[in-house]
Amino acid sequence: MGGGKQSWKISFHRSPSTLLLPKKQSPPPKEFLCPISDSLMADPVVVSSGHTFERNCIRACVSLSFKPTLSDGSKPDFSTIIPNLALKSTILNCPSCYSSSSSSDVETLNSLEEEEFIIKLKSSQVFEQEEGLISLRKLTRTKEETRVHLCTPRLLSAIKSLISSRYSALQVNAVAALVNLSLEKRNKVKIVRSGIVPLLIDILKGGFPESQDHAAGALFSLALDDHNKTAIGVLGALPLLLHALRSDSERIRHDSALALYHLSLVQSNQVKMIKLGSVQNLLEMVKSRHMTGRVLLVLCNLAASAEGRAAMLDGGAVECFVNMLSQDEFDSAATRESCLAALYGLSYGGLRFKGLAKEAGAEETLEKVEKTGSERAKKKASRMLEVLRKEEEEEEEEIDWEKLLESEDDLSRMQCRLSGGAASNSC
């Protein structure tokens, strides 16, 4: 090594996959490539000398105290760095760049973009963190490909640290960016496995108002995947979502109800909701015409299980639904169908349902539905009427105890006579 001045050598190798490209494909414009890495730039910046580079390449050079020699023999000045937003936008909106570049170029672009966001989100400066989150939120709002390649364990970890921030701007934008990432189906399980759900529950419980809106939306989005339903229930989201149905925010109420609908498709969550006393609360909401349509959807799911039917029969659901159908004051045909479907689910409750339905005067109401309802409604009403009118196959027979005792006495006397005869013969 000697005592001479240490020199640094940085090499950037192109992937062999470049050689596999069809000859008819042309390379991306030279101005889109970083002079140092010779790859597409994810975050181009202009330096004092007027050259444009990839920001991460400059950071690497500065950290190594290295100044590369460019093709024209000059050395760039890194003392000032200015984002080249126009060039960045042009690169991102130029499909030919991606179709004409190799897969390694696209991967490099993606990894550089991810790295840039991670650096900003982990910055010690709040304004840089906010800038990174806002940029991430905008970028993932409409671009499906971006949502896919940015949903990495490292980026999710960086977002996690900001979801519980005491700064409202950071918390709001972090949860909003997460909602955008969760819109992509293949990201949903990945997000739940990253451990973010407990943080969303905490936000729903005591976060900033706008953050709570986004947290409810995120839980709804994640609950759409069947692989997440049980996990979200186990992690404790159900009590908070049930409480959120009474929120002052219409958006929170809407997303919480939809989240509960999807979560209640799983039996384990149905049992949890019943144990939480949700049935009575949901029925009260229906009676008060509070979010009737969405709440009825949840009750339909609960009525599909034996535990749910029992709790709903105990809570007066039959009378509630029959009254609603007889008054026919629904805000939509879909809500009417949901009410009938919930009552139909309860009709599998056997004799208990039959007795409660007759007490509530269900037969007359169902006859009306059978005549005027939709085809689906007519079938449900017809089936329930059949249940109500069907005689019990095995009725308890009235027992005449006097005749039974007389027959037993006759049998005893006969047994005595037979026994006596047998004794005589043996003598």
| CATH code of residue 29 | 3.30.40.10
Domain for residue 49, yes or no? yes
Per residue of the chain (427 residues), give pLDDT as tens: 444 444 444 444 444 333 333 444 456 788 888 888 888 888 888 888 788 888 888 888 887 778 888 887 888 888 888 888 878 878 877 765 655 445 455 455 557 778 888 999 999 999 999 999 999 999 999 888 889 989 999 999 999 999 999 999 999 999 999 999 999 999 999 999 999 999 999 999 999 999 999 999 999 999 999 999 999 999 999 999 999 999 999 999 999 999 999 999 999 999 999 999 999 999 999 998 889 999 999 999 999 999 999 999 999 999 999 999 999 888 889 999 999 999 999 999 888 999 999 999 999 999 999 998 889 999 999 999 998 888 644 444 444 545 545 554 554 444 444 344 444 343 4
Last residue of a domain, one of 70, 99, 128: 99
The reported pLDDT for the residue numbered 142 is 86
The reported pLDDT for the residue numbered 270 is 96
Domain for residue 149, yes or no? no
Domain for residue 244, yes or no? no
The reported pLDDT for the residue numbered 97 is 60
Domain for residue 110, yes or no? no
Report how far residue 214's alpha carbon sits from residue 55's, in angstroms, rounded to the nearest whole number.
32
Domain for residue 350, yes or no? yes
CA distances from 396 to 271, 323, 357, 392, 408 (A): 34, 32, 22, 9, 21
Domain for residue 199, yes or no? no
Domain for residue 139, yes or no? no
Token output for 31: 């101005």
Q: Provide the 10 A C-beta neighbour count for residue 112.
A: 21
Q: Work out how many domains the chain is built from and give that number.
A: 2
Last residue of a domain, one of 49, 67, 99: 99
CATH of the domain at 319: 1.25.10.10
The reported pLDDT for the residue numbered 404 is 47
- Domain range for residue 360? 280-390
Report how far residue 301's alpha carbon sits from residue 139's, in angstroms, rounded to the nearest whole number.
37
Report how far residue 263's alpha carbon sits from residue 234's, in angstroms, rounded to the nearest whole number.
11
pTM over 0.75: no
Token output for 182: 């969760």
Domain for residue 349, yes or no? yes
Last residue of a domain, one of 99, 115, 132: 99
